[in-house]
Each structure stands twice: as C-alpha cells, then as structure tokens.
C-alpha cells in the first residue's frame, strides 16, 4: 500500500519512489444506486501542458479517441475507454514513461468527466469511491493514492491529480477540483 494523499498535498516522486521510470496511473469510481434513466459513462482524459499551463496542441489532449501522446516514444498512453465502470479496482488507466516525456511538457493533468452529464441529469454527487493512484510499472507497487471524499453534487468534471516537473524532478499533486460544464469547461480552461 502506497502513501495516501490528502486534497492539495504535493509529493516528490523521487522521494517516495527513487528511480521511478514509468507510472501506471489508475482512476476508479463507483456509481451510487441512483436512477437517472441512463447508464453512467465516466471518461478519463489527460492534458499535456506547457510552461504557460495550456495544452501544447490538440494531439496533447489524450482521451478515448486519441490514446497516445504525439512524441515518437508515445510517452503517455491511455489504456482505453471503460463504458460502464463496473467491477472493482481501476476503471481506466494511463501509463506515463517519465523518462521519455518531452521537455516541453511541464505538467500532466488527469481528469474524469461524465459523458453527456447535462442531458442525462447526472453529476459527481451520484458517484462515490473515486480515486486516483500511481503504481510503479516495474515493481507493480502502489506508490501514491488519493481518495476523493468531497461531495461534488453539481460538478460534472473533476481534476483528479497532476504530475508536474519542479527542480528537475517529477512531483504529484492531489487536486480534487470539481467543475460544472463537463469536459468543455476543462478544455476551455487549458486551451
């Protein structure tokens, strides 16, 4: 079991996992027994930001229709869309090869949104047990975990966590920030 982070807590990956080369970032959630008349479809996405806190290009927005970063090494890979979120453990995952992330990528932002939330009358208040965790790809050991405990009763998009560079090393920030307006609100923020 890795270190459990609190909202807003930042930690150096070099301090908690010296020599970490690649990270498996798992995102998970459960849907409460709420009848909105529609199935829930939560999606994870990744924004690769430059020093100006903006997405470097459209190809630096990683999601179910663009699974890999545009660099030759495909240093960030989304492992695919889970349409139901059923079952235990990670619902969606992203693998980040920290050694190969291009230098112009200063921050990697992990978000979860509810597909067609407004039309379906859904929000994160109907979701529980949401988490993000970072696992060392080589050892398979969980390094960090952030369990969201707030009630996001009007939000349809969540920034879960960020990996960012500081003083030449990677760090993780447990963000837990909710937004109304779904994925579009986050695209507007980072474009």
pTM for this prediction: 0.92
Task: For the chain, give the number of residues.
Answer: 191
Averaged confidence pLDDT in the chain: 90
CATH class entry, domain 3-190: mainly beta
4-29 mean pLDDT:
94
Identify which has the larger pLDDT, 25 or 91.
25
Report the SS3 class of residue 185.
helix
89-95 mean pLDDT:
90
Q: Given this model, what pLDDT does residue 91 score?
A: 87
pLDDT, one tens digit per residue, over 73-89 is: 999 999 986 654 455 67
Distance in angstroms (rounded) separating the CA atoms of residues 85 and 92: 8
Q: Which of 27-36, 49-58, 145-154, 173-182 has the lowest mean pLDDT?
A: 27-36
Q: Which of 6-15, 22-31, 147-156, 162-171 has the lowest mean pLDDT?
A: 147-156
> Does 23 have pLDDT greater than 80?
yes
Distance in angstroms (rounded) separating the CA atoms of residues 43 and 64: 8
Torsion (CA) 169, 170, 172, 178 in degrees, nearest 10: 120
Instruction: Name the percent of the chain lying above pLDDT 90.
Output: 69
Split at pLDDT 50, 70, 90, the class of 52 is very high
């Amino acid at each position: 079991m890795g270190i459990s982070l609190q909202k807003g807590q930042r930690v150096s990956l070099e301090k908690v996992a010296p020599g970490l080369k690649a990270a498996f970032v798992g995102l998970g959630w459960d849907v409460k027994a709420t009848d909105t008349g529609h199935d829930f479809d939560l999606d994870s996405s990744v924004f690769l930001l430059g020093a100006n806190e903006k997405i470097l290009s459209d190809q630096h927005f990683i999601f179910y229709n663009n699974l890999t970063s545009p660099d030759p090494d495909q240093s960030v890979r989304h492992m695919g869309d889970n349409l139901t979120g059923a079952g235990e453990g990670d619902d969606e995952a992203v693998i980040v090869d920290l050694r190969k992330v291009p230098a112009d990528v200063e921050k990697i932002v992990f978000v979860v949104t509810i597909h067609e939330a407004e039309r379906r009358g859904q929000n994160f208040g109907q979701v529980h047990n949401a988490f993000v965790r970072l696992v060392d790809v080589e050892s398979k050991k969980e390094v960090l975990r952030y369990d969201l405990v707030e009630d996001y009763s009007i939000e349809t998009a969540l920034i879960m966590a960020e990996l960012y560079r500081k003083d030449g090393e990677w760090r993780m920030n447990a963000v837990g920030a909710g937004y109304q307006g779904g994925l579009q609100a986050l695209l507007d923020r980072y474009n």
